[in-house]
Chain A
Amino acid sequence: MSHRILIVDDEPNIVISLEYLMKKEGFQVAVATDGETALQLASEFVPDLILLDVMMPKKSGFEVCQALRAAPELVATKIIMLTAKGRETEVTKGLALGADVYITKPFSTKDLVLQIKSLLG
């Protein structure tokens, strides 16, 4: 059985790489391009792991993260936050709001894959 990954990012140029990478690793992939769709998809798709961008229109990644953590059916879902803001305070905020891992852009795809695998155990 393959793991399900939800990619949440409003930039198609990163989505294409992430999607390709995840599929190559054999995961089932779903993509949402804004926060609201992300929440909706998350409850339908019930992913094992979510790659969550912080800077998005409508709802920010922080808000989405907090909302996800409030949903009882997603208790087991891991969240990796990806962000272009690298300040330490934001990292702390992301982790405090329930993210499992916080990765600053740009990142190495190899590391990302390793990180995902280790989270999914």
Chain B
Amino acid sequence: MKARLRFILAACVLGLLMTGPFALTGLLLFADAKDAERAAFAQFLVPRLPVGGVITLLGLVAGVLLLRGLFQQYVQGLSRMAETLRLMLGANRNFRVAPEGPPEVRELARAANDLAQQRDELLNDVEAQIRTAKATVEEEKNRLAALMSELALGVVVCNLDGRILLYNSRARLQFKALAQGPTSMSGGALIGLGRSIFSILERGQITHSLENIQQRLRRGSAEPTANFITSTRGGQLLRAQMAPVLRTGATGPATATVDSLPPAPPPGEGGDNVGSQAAPAQGVAAATMLGAELQVTGYVLTIENITRNFEREAERDQVLQSLTDGNRAALANLRAAVETLIDSPEMEVDYRERFTRVIADEASAMSQRLETTMSGFADSLKTRWPLEDVLAIDIVAAAARRVADRLHLPIKNEDQDTSLWIRVDSFALIQAITFLASRLQDHYAIRELRLRLSAEGKMVFVDLIWSGTPVSSETLYTWELEPMNVGAETSPLTLRDVVDRHSGEIWYQRDKAAHNAFFRIVLPAAVTPDVQTIDQTQHLHSDSRPEYYDFDLFAARDAEGSGIDPDRRLTDLAYSVFDTETTGLQPSNGDEIIQLGAVRIVNNRLLRQEIFDQLVDPVIPLKPEGILIHGITEAMVNGQPRLDVVLPAFHEFCAETVLVAHNASFDMRFLQLKEDSLGVRFTQPVLDTLLLSAVIHPNQESHRLESIAERLGINVIGRHTALGDAYVTGEVFLKMIPLLADMGILTLRQALDAAQKTYFARVKY
């Protein structure tokens, strides 16, 4: 626009230059002349004026044409060249300016090309050096990646927000098998770099385990890991072990932290000073961990699907139980009857007959029970949950914090034995305590709750004590059978389930002397673990621990936390780049989507394995002219899921990412037309590579995907499949980000605004 204005201005100046001197001379002469001379002059001039005018006009036209030629060659040619020079500078180093136009411009182009050549040589030299340096690192990385992918355990690494930073193929397989979805993609979509682990595992369990780990670190535990069992929507059981990722390498601050801490030798380690060398080494390790306590940056989850082991174990358990407990009563009846018979030789005949009948009855009932147990034990499975040995005081403290947080109910400790270990599912147990507290608060308006921890023989008592209103035992019996819901937090388990799971008991008791009442939860005590033996497993935290990615996403913590902030930098956002193939170009006239393809961009990388690739049955017949373009035939779409199934899965795949597409308004129209009927809404921001291309290169004629790809030096393969186009669009988009940055377009909001303003934004389908 600016150049055009300048051109018009120049044309005006030319016109003035050509007519101005004549007009001025004429005017001066005219002013100087007398009346008669003026009349004669007019008489002489007026008839000849058209000829002069035409000649002047012709001259002007010729002048403007000449000016335009020069303008095109020098001004516009140069600004085109400037754009291509910028390209060479940034996105596509191998691009060269085509020498065209007048000789001076051609010479300039050649000089620029030479300069570029020189720069490339220099750069190549530097790059070669960097490459060699990188190769060693890369090799190491790959070796560890291979190792990780071969592991039989699923491994997932997350930052504190629960964003996945790394996963291995085993984890991917496991979660894929777990995911329930009608399309092949709904499973694979769940796990991915930058995605939230909470879509797979329960948030409460993760945070609880993290808390446990923090506590253990604080105590200087040699093994700050936590185990939990979780069940998925499909009823599968996963066993997960969580180990913290501690910030290492920052020795300066870490040592400072250690110094400022009071000297607290880890419990249990001070006693045995075996060997003068081992003891200091242990001390140092413990100290590092103490210092690192506040620097847990994430966690490693090792995940194992134990459903099948579990079922087998549970079956065996069931058999055992029905053979022991199930027969106790019958055996009691038998034994009592037999003993009575033996001890009473004087018994009357009809009594004797009744006793004999009891014996016969019970004996045959027992045989029958044995039979049904053996043949049908698989039918009714009572799941047994694996439990973890923990310090009882940890559980009580965690429960106290939770009750205080959730219910704002003051908690006091009373006679807590700190040395007790119990074998529990800590998450469920804390839920149970919170549940009881909330019930007491809601129904009996208690103002304070005291927690007591004591032991008797092989049993540990957890007491919830309150003063004032007594509760009836019946109330506890009803509470036992209700699901443990506290506020918005729901649980499928009842208090009874939790108690049974621990082979524990619960009851209500009053202490009249102390004017209070309490619920007592009895749990089997666990053996106090031997700290020394646990020390052997410390390899998890030694310096040799494999860290095969530099995990840039660890640092992305705060930014990745919540949704899509339009003021975040384009380089920090996660994107789903997608494309659709359709039956035609008119969504409002009944054309339908037949293929959806998408790929994710996280942390500035195109993740070629995290894809969505799905054919869709459009229900309407395909058009022959369309088949020529996309190559998708009736046979291919037949039997594929319909859009009502695919679109929700795609929606899940795109969650929390910015959408990117080439000519996005076209694809978005197809999606949006279905939003109401299918109940999914794509509310995230959308970036269009076509509009962005127009922002970056306003003077280029073509903004077709191929042309842009060519300009940016991207090899186009597999076009005209939805996924193929999504790949190309993704690569194009990644190249555009630095070009946009050169123009001062750094944030999502700026990119959206710039796209809006381009000419193309006004074109609507």
Contact A17 B459 (CB under 8 A): no
Interface presence of B257 (CB below 8 A): no
Interface presence of B79 (CB below 8 A): no
| Chain B residues whose CB sits within 8 angstroms of the CB of A20 once the complex forms | 340, 344, 351, 355
A98 → B minimal CB distance (Å): 10
B713 → A minimal CB distance (Å): 73
Query: In the assembly, what is the distance between CA of A106 and CA of B329, in Å?
Result: 7
Query: In the assembly, what is the distance between CA of A5 and CA of B681, in Å?
Result: 73
Interface presence of B325 (CB below 8 A): yes
Chain A residue nearest in CB terms to B354: A16
Taken residue by residue from 314 to 348, chain B's Cβ proximity to chain A (1 for < 8 Å, 0 otherwise) reads as: 00000000000100110111111101100110000
Chain A residue nearest in CB terms to B458: A88
Query: In the assembly, what is the distance between CA of A97 and CA of B507, in Å?
Result: 8
Contact B340 A104 (CB under 8 A): no
Chain A residue nearest in CB terms to B477: A63
Query: In the assembly, what is the distance between CA of A24 and CA of B347, in Å?
Result: 10
A115 → B minimal CB distance (Å): 14
Contact A24 B355 (CB under 8 A): no
Interface presence of B505 (CB below 8 A): yes
Interface presence of B361 (CB below 8 A): yes
Contact A84 B339 (CB under 8 A): no
| Chain B residues whose CB sits within 8 angstroms of the CB of A16 once the complex forms | 337, 354-355, 358
Known: A17-B336, A17-B340, A21-B336. A89 touches B504 (CB 8 A): yes
Interface presence of A90 (CB below 8 A): yes
Contact A66 B328 (CB under 8 A): no
Q: Interface size (A, Cβ < 8 Å)?
A: 32
A54 → B minimal CB distance (Å): 10
Contact B329 A92 (CB under 8 A): no
Contact A84 B473 (CB under 8 A): no
Query: In the assembly, what is the distance between CA of A88 and CA of B343, in Å?
Result: 31
Contact A21 B335 (CB under 8 A): no
Query: In the assembly, what is the distance between CA of A51 and CA of B250, in Å?
Result: 70
Interface presence of B188 (CB below 8 A): no
Interface presence of B509 (CB below 8 A): yes
B705 → A minimal CB distance (Å): 70
| Chain A residues whose CB sits within 8 angstroms of the CB of B699 once the complex forms | none
Contact A104 B358 (CB under 8 A): no
Contact B340 A109 (CB under 8 A): yes
Taken residue by residue from 580 to 616, chain B's Cβ proximity to chain A (1 for < 8 Å, 0 otherwise) reads as: 0000000000000000000000000000000000000
Interface presence of A105 (CB below 8 A): yes
Query: In the assembly, what is the distance between CA of A110 and CA of B329, in Å?
Result: 17
Which of A96, A107, A110 is within 8 Å of B332, CB to CB?
A: A107
Chain B residue nearest in CB terms to A82: B332
Q: Which range holds the interface residue count of chain B?
A: 35 or more
Known: A104-B328, A106-B331. A89 touches B354 (CB 8 A): no
A51 → B minimal CB distance (Å): 11
Known: A84-B332, A92-B505, A97-B507. A13 touches B459 (CB 8 A): no
Contact A92 B339 (CB under 8 A): no
Chain B residue nearest in CB terms to A90: B505
Contact A96 B509 (CB under 8 A): yes
Query: In the assembly, what is the distance between CA of A10 and CA of B137, in Å?
Result: 76
Interface presence of A93 (CB below 8 A): yes
Contact A84 B340 (CB under 8 A): no
Known: A88-B459, A109-B339. A14 touches B507 (CB 8 A): no
Which of A90, A96, A107 is within 8 Å of B335, CB to CB?
A: A107
Interface presence of B223 (CB below 8 A): no
Chain A residue nearest in CB terms to B344: A24
Interface presence of A85 (CB below 8 A): yes
A114 → B minimal CB distance (Å): 13
Contact B522 A93 (CB under 8 A): yes
Interface presence of B520 (CB below 8 A): yes
| Chain B residues whose CB sits within 8 angstroms of the CB of A93 once the complex forms | 505, 507, 522
Contact A106 B332 (CB under 8 A): yes
Task: Kindly name the residue among B333, B334, B456, B473 whose own CB sees the greatest number of chain A CB atoms within 10 A.
Answer: B333
| Chain A residues whose CB sits within 8 angstroms of the CB of B507 once the complex forms | 62, 93, 96-97
Query: In the assembly, what is the distance between CA of A87 and CA of B334, in Å?
Result: 21
A19 → B minimal CB distance (Å): 10
Interface presence of B311 (CB below 8 A): no
Chain B residue nearest in CB terms to A18: B336
| Chain A residues whose CB sits within 8 angstroms of the CB of B477 once the complex forms | 63
Interface presence of B368 (CB below 8 A): no
Taken residue by residue from 69 to 101, chain A's Cβ proximity to chain B (1 for < 8 Å, 0 otherwise) reads as: 000000000000010111111101100110000
Query: In the assembly, what is the distance between CA of A50 and CA of B504, in Å?
Result: 26
Contact A11 B459 (CB under 8 A): no
| Chain B residues whose CB sits within 8 angstroms of the CB of A2 once the complex forms | none
| Chain B residues whose CB sits within 8 angstroms of the CB of A18 once the complex forms | 336
Interface presence of B83 (CB below 8 A): no
| Chain A residues whose CB sits within 8 angstroms of the CB of B388 once the complex forms | none
Q: Which of B341-398 contact A (CB under 8 A)?
A: 343-344, 351, 354-355, 358, 361-362
Taken residue by residue from 1 to 43, chain A's Cβ proximity to chain B (1 for < 8 Å, 0 otherwise) reads as: 0000000000101101110110010000000000000000000
Query: In the assembly, what is the distance between CA of A66 and CA of B472, in Å?
Result: 10
| Chain B residues whose CB sits within 8 angstroms of the CB of A55 once the complex forms | 329
Interface presence of A108 (CB below 8 A): yes
Interface presence of B94 (CB below 8 A): no
Interface presence of B244 (CB below 8 A): no
Interface presence of B702 (CB below 8 A): no
Contact B328 A86 (CB under 8 A): yes
Contact A14 B333 (CB under 8 A): yes
| Chain B residues whose CB sits within 8 angstroms of the CB of A63 once the complex forms | 473-474, 477
| Chain B residues whose CB sits within 8 angstroms of the CB of A88 once the complex forms | 457-459, 524
Interface presence of B469 (CB below 8 A): no
Contact B325 A84 (CB under 8 A): yes
| Chain A residues whose CB sits within 8 angstroms of the CB of B355 once the complex forms | 16-17, 20
Interface presence of B118 (CB below 8 A): no
Which of B329, B339, B458 is within 8 Å of A108, CB to CB?
A: B339
Contact B343 A109 (CB under 8 A): yes
A118 → B minimal CB distance (Å): 19
| Chain B residues whose CB sits within 8 angstroms of the CB of A14 once the complex forms | 329, 332-333, 336
Interface presence of B707 (CB below 8 A): no
Known: A89-B459, A109-B343. A84 touches B336 (CB 8 A): no
Interface presence of B503 (CB below 8 A): yes
| Chain A residues whose CB sits within 8 angstroms of the CB of B473 once the complex forms | 63, 66
Query: In the assembly, what is the distance between CA of A71 and CA of B340, in Å?
Result: 34
A112 → B minimal CB distance (Å): 8
Contact A11 B336 (CB under 8 A): no
Query: In the assembly, what is the distance between CA of A102 and CA of B457, in Å?
Result: 17
Which of B328, B343, B509 is within 8 Å of A106, CB to CB?
A: B328
A-B contact pairs, 10 of them (CB 8 A): A11-B329, A13-B362, A16-B355, A17-B339, A17-B340, A63-B473, A84-B332, A88-B457, A90-B505, A93-B505
* Besides A13-B361, A89-B459, A109-B343, 14 new A-B residue pairs in contact (Cβ under 8 A), listed by A number: A13-B358, A16-B355, A16-B358, A18-B336, A20-B355, A62-B507, A63-B477, A87-B505, A88-B457, A89-B522, A96-B509, A105-B328, A106-B335, A108-B335
The 5 closest A-B CB pairs, nearest first, are A105-B332, A17-B336, A106-B332, A84-B328, A84-B329
